[in-house]
């Protein structure tokens, strides 16, 4: 009965803690406060007055800075607003309402469209599909990425499969890095749909937690090498590099896809906020500047990941499994009766992402995955929250025993 006593004590404390979203902490945001006084010059490198309209694709100097980090040639990078999610959403919209290169028709004219969703995955990818009427098919993740036997079979056999979501590096929420062989198979596999696309959300490209950064194979180049040049749609952003609400986002792909994307975007906007682009160039400067800045982030958040791991090990050894990612923003905790654990935590004042959110339609068939976002709270709050969570896990285990 230890767990019920601990839970009663926990509930009495009247906590109000939040582990839901992958937000940088205020101290992380402080690292970029100098940006608030930039840009020093409103002229781009080529003399463009960045204050005025225009330059749909984005400033060359920013594309040159982030292209290599996202493994995209700078000429094939498009800079967007503050949310790469909007670039992904809008890509799907453009494909629904205007034919992607290689498509027989607009996706909205297809009787049904299916996207493959490696699980656990990112809930906001899934809500885009739900909102736009795209059927989702879950594919299990393993230590090297999605189960490629399943992926290859579905993509090769079913022309309804038009897309696949991937967070290939430090995956949300499991922290998995796709292996070279996984990336090669994604690039090389035959597809029944001529307009099949991989949405490669490289959200954590430079977000390392250790001194041995994970290396990711170059999907865009591999797709071209395997005769599928238009398959890869690459996304990234500085939301978790500089300022979460005021970053810049990136889209990169083949020349044909970029031309198609810009042709659609040209109807939507007269151009992006180039002053914010300059602000980023002046602040981050170059790849070394980005790496140094990301090390400062890691110094702030790596101890949080270590704390979670330590508390889970101490309190839940044998009762649960969890990930120890080498980068990214999340820890994936797997426990029996996850929904009940989350409900118990909520009742005790600890907010967690709803169990199931890591799966299409919010349905985790095994009811096991809980996504922990440790970056936002300070260490003492985080420790309280994770300790409280372990009490809930133990309580549910005890009650269900």
The footprint of a second copy (CB under 8 A) covers: 21, 23-24, 26, 29, 32-33, 36-39, 42, 49-55, 81-83, 85-86, 89-90, 93, 96-98, 108, 124, 127-128, 130-133, 239, 243-246, 264, 267-276
CB of 382 to a second copy, least distance (A): 17
64 vs 282 by CB, closer to a second copy: 282
The CA-based angle 17-35-47, given to 5 degrees, is: 145
8-state DSSP, 320:
B
8-state DSSP, 100:
P
Contact 187, 179 (CB under 8 A): no
**CA pair distance 259, 222, nearest whole angstrom:** 20
CB of 28 to a second copy, least distance (A): 9
8-state DSSP, 207:
-
CB of 188 to a second copy, least distance (A): 32
51 vs 285 by CB, closer to a second copy: 51
8-state DSSP, 38:
-
Counting every residue written for the chain, the total comes to 401
Count how many Cα atoms sit within 13 Å of the Cα of residue 129 in the half-sphere of its side chain: 26
272 vs 388 by CB, closer to a second copy: 272
**CA pair distance 53, 118, nearest whole angstrom:** 40
φ/ψ (deg, to 5) at 215: -105, 135
8-state DSSP, 44:
-
120 vs 247 by CB, closer to a second copy: 247
CB of 93 to a second copy, least distance (A): 6
Q: Where are the alpha helices (DSSP H) in 98-233?
A: 123-131, 148-157, 180-188, 219-225
CB of 19 to a second copy, least distance (A): 15
CB of 31 to a second copy, least distance (A): 11
277 vs 384 by CB, closer to a second copy: 277
Q: How far is CA 311 from the centre of its chain?
A: 25
CB of 145 to a second copy, least distance (A): 25
Contact 388, 10 (CB under 8 A): yes
CB of 336 to a second copy, least distance (A): 31
Which residue in 156, 234, 223 sits closest to 187, CA to CA?
223
The CA R_g of the chain, rounded to the nearest whole Å, is 22
51 vs 310 by CB, closer to a second copy: 51
53 vs 361 by CB, closer to a second copy: 53
38 vs 387 by CB, closer to a second copy: 38
123 vs 364 by CB, closer to a second copy: 123
First to last CA, the chain: 12
Count how many Cα atoms sit within 13 Å of the Cα of residue 200 in the half-sphere of its side chain: 30
CB of 46 to a second copy, least distance (A): 15
């Amino acid at each position: 009965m230890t767990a019920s006593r601990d839970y009663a004590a926990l509930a009495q404390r009247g906590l109000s803690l939040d582990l839901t979203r992958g937000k940088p902490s205020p101290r992380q945001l402080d690292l970029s406060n100098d940006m608030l006084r930039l840009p020093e010059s409103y002229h781009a490198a080529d003399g463009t007055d960045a204050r005025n309209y225009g330059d749909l694709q984005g400033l060359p100097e920013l594309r040159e800075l982030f292209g290599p980090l996202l493994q995209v040639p700078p000429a094939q990078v498009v800079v967007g607003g503050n949310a790469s999610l909007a670039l992904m959403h809008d890509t799907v919209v453009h494909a629904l309402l205007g034919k992607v290169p290689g498509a027989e028709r607009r996706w909205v004219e297809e009787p049904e469209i299916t996207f493959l969703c490696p699980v656990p995955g990112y809930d906001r990818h899934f809500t885009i599909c739900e909102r736009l009427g795209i059927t989702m098919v879950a594919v299990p993740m393993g230590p090297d990425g999605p189960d490629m036997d399943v992926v290859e079979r579905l993509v090769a056999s079913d022309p309804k499969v038009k897309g696949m979501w991937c967070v290939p590096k430090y995956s949300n929420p499991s922290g998995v890095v796709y292996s070279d062989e996984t990336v090669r198979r994604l690039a090389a596999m035959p597809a029944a749909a001529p307009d099949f696309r991989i949405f490669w959300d490289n959200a954590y490209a430079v977000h390392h937690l250790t001194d041995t950064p994970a290396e990711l194979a170059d999907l865009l180049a591999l797709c071209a090498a395997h005769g599928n040049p238009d398959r890869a749609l690459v996304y990234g952003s500085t939301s978790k590099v500089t300022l979460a609400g005021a970053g810049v986002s990136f889209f990169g792909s083949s020349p044909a896809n970029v031309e198609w994307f810009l042709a659609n975007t040209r109807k939507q906007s007269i151009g992006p906020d180039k002053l914010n682009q300059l602000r980023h160039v002046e602040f981050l400067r170059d790849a070394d500047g980005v790496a140094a800045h990301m090390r400062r982030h890691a110094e702030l958040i790596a101890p949080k990941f270590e704390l979670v791991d330590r508390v889970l090990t101490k309190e839940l050894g044998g009762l649960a499994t969890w990930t120890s990612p080498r980068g990214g923003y999340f820890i994936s905790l797997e426990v029996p009766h996850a929904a009940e654990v989350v409900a118990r935590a909520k009742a005790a004042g600890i907010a967690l992402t709803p169990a199931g959110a890591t799966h299409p339609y919010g349905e985790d068939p095994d009811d096991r995955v809980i996504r922990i976002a440790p970056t936002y709270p300070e260490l003492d709050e985080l420790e309280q929250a994770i300790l409280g969570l372990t009490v809930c896990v133990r309580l549910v285990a005890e009650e269900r025993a």
